[in-house]
Chains A and B, each alone.
Chain A
Amino acid sequence: MNVDSIVDGIVIDHIKAGNAMRIYRHLKLKEVKSPIAIIKNCKSQKYGKKDIIKISELIDINLEVLGYIDPDITVNIIKDQKLVEKKHLDLPARLTNVINCKNPRCITSTEQEIDHVFKLTDKQKRIYRCVYCESKSDKEDIG
């Protein structure tokens, strides 16, 4: 399998095996016109298996979304075929318009234009709660 090396672009590395398509969807990568390679089930010393996404264009990546889905991911920025920056993610303390609150009693269910804001309340268990109603987020609530 040949995947050309990137001149200017982004490599999203250390994706938990099986999560690549989910990340592709949530980062809306189908809107990117440049070539994108999704490599699944690579060998990983750290995790056994991992997925990788290579994007041959420098685009803005929503690190909040990435950090929420998987804080162990690494984002590598490539310029002129050289690695110029390696971003290690963390669970974001606050998520704005990343997750949608699904509580029908929450004000966000009726006020159409207000931001959906969640804050990290338990880092160990990776629990986020809506700032308005305190409902717990579900990974599937992502907008």
Chain B
Amino acid sequence: MKHLMDIIDLDNEQINELIKVANDIIENPKKYESACKGKKLAALFFEPSTRTRLSFESAMLSLGGDVIGFSSFEGSSATKGESVTDTVQTVGYYADIIAMRHPKEGAPLAASKRTTVPIINAGDGGHSHPTQTLADLLTIQREKGNLNNLKVGLCGDLKFGRPVHSLINALARYDNTEYFLISPEELKVPDYVKANVLDKEGVKYTETYDMQEVMPNLDILYMTRVQRERFFNEADYIRLKDTYILTPDKLYNAKDNLSIMHPLPRVNEISVKVDDDPRACYFKQVLNGKYIRMALILMLLDIEV
């Protein structure tokens, strides 16, 4: 594998290998602290991000490597009218690996055709965000012990939410996954995800507006933010943003071993009062995100420790 554009670029064997390496990093961090000495990661973020950018940077620094890059569109030559592909080709001469976020769908794929260094898609608009999914999978594996036989509730913005599409893709390939897709009508999972993944793989799923109705079934409840930046119309955003707010009282009929997940940042869709619930896993996802990105950098740079 040269680049990582989408979670479907990875087969289950590669995902399992990444999880294995990430778990080893968690157990033996010292072993990896100089693994990328002399290597540079370019973090090219054409769109604001706190977690993903710092996670990539922290991952590379923890492997003993260095980091260059920019953190906004304004910080790049794109403001001068330079094309994305030209920018990435240029940076490819300075760095050994590139993590790239861009608001346009498919931007990292277009850029990958113009450079020889590995590119990791760190989010391309509402399309794909594979390293978030890897963080989610590592978290699920650590919480549940495996990735099979899970009943997964996905709640909120299932239309524009890229972590949702990637997670649907990834878990659909494991045994007996069942999805409960909880959303308002306007934010349902797009037809192409249903056709290309759920229907094609024969994955069982239920679409519903009512979170409470399906809560008792769930092993995982994956909450998402309704993303203001994906709406062309502010009025639609305001109407839909508060549809689901998870509070402690709404967990009354949930399983004791439910895992509550969220790709973060949250706005108000999970009350801070839920943070103390032992079932809350969303900050564990943040930490796991760094470890799985370390494992991914090692895999793409073909470094074995």
A interface with B by C-beta (< 8 Å): 103, 105-114, 121-122, 127, 129-134, 136
* A95 → chain B closest CB, angstroms: 16
Any A CB within 8 A of the CB of B125: yes
Partner of B105, one of A103, A113, A121, A127: A103
How far is it, in angstroms, between the C-alpha of A127 and the C-alpha of B251 when the chains are bound?
42
How far is it, in angstroms, between the C-alpha of A129 and the C-alpha of B102 when the chains are bound?
20
A105-B104, A105-B126, A129-B192 given; A111·B109 CB < 8 A: no
A105-B125, A111-B83 given; A132·B106 CB < 8 A: yes
Cross-chain contact B110 with A114 (CB below 8 angstroms): yes
Question: Can you name the residue of chain B whose Cβ is closest to the Cβ of A136?
Answer: B192
Cross-chain contact A109 with B85 (CB below 8 angstroms): no
How far is it, in angstroms, between the C-alpha of A111 and the C-alpha of B111 when the chains are bound?
10
Cross-chain contact B126 with A134 (CB below 8 angstroms): no
A106-B106, A132-B109, A133-B106 given; A111·B85 CB < 8 A: yes
Cross-chain contact B195 with A134 (CB below 8 angstroms): no
B interface with A by C-beta (< 8 Å): 83-85, 102-107, 109-110, 124-127, 192, 195-196
How far is it, in angstroms, between the C-alpha of A133 and the C-alpha of B127 when the chains are bound?
6
Can you list 25 A-B pairs, Cβ within 8 angstroms, ordered by A? A103-B105, A105-B104, A105-B127, A106-B104, A106-B105, A106-B106, A107-B102, A107-B105, A107-B107, A107-B109, A107-B110, A108-B106, A110-B104, A111-B84, A111-B110, A112-B83, A113-B83, A114-B85, A114-B110, A131-B109, A132-B105, A133-B105, A133-B106, A134-B127, A136-B192
Apart from A111-B110, A134-B192, what 18 extra A-B contacts exist at CB < 8 Å?
A105-B103, A105-B104, A105-B125, A105-B126, A105-B127, A107-B105, A107-B107, A107-B110, A107-B124, A108-B110, A111-B104, A112-B83, A122-B195, A127-B195, A129-B192, A132-B110, A133-B105, A133-B127
* A133 → chain B closest CB, angstroms: 4
* B41 → chain A closest CB, angstroms: 22
How far is it, in angstroms, between the C-alpha of A113 and the C-alpha of B192 when the chains are bound?
27
How far is it, in angstroms, between the C-alpha of A110 and the C-alpha of B127 when the chains are bound?
16
* B98 → chain A closest CB, angstroms: 16
Chain B residues contacting A110 (CB-CB under 8 Å) are 84, 104
* B213 → chain A closest CB, angstroms: 31
* B111 → chain A closest CB, angstroms: 9
How far is it, in angstroms, between the C-alpha of A130 and the C-alpha of B102 when the chains are bound?
17
Question: Can you name the residue of chain A whose Cβ is closest to the Cβ of B107?
Answer: A107
Chain B residues contacting A136 (CB-CB under 8 Å) are 192
Cross-chain contact B104 with A109 (CB below 8 angstroms): yes
How far is it, in angstroms, between the C-alpha of A114 and the C-alpha of B268 when the chains are bound?
40
Chain B residues contacting A103 (CB-CB under 8 Å) are 105
* B243 → chain A closest CB, angstroms: 23
How far is it, in angstroms, between the C-alpha of A113 and the C-alpha of B84 when the chains are bound?
11
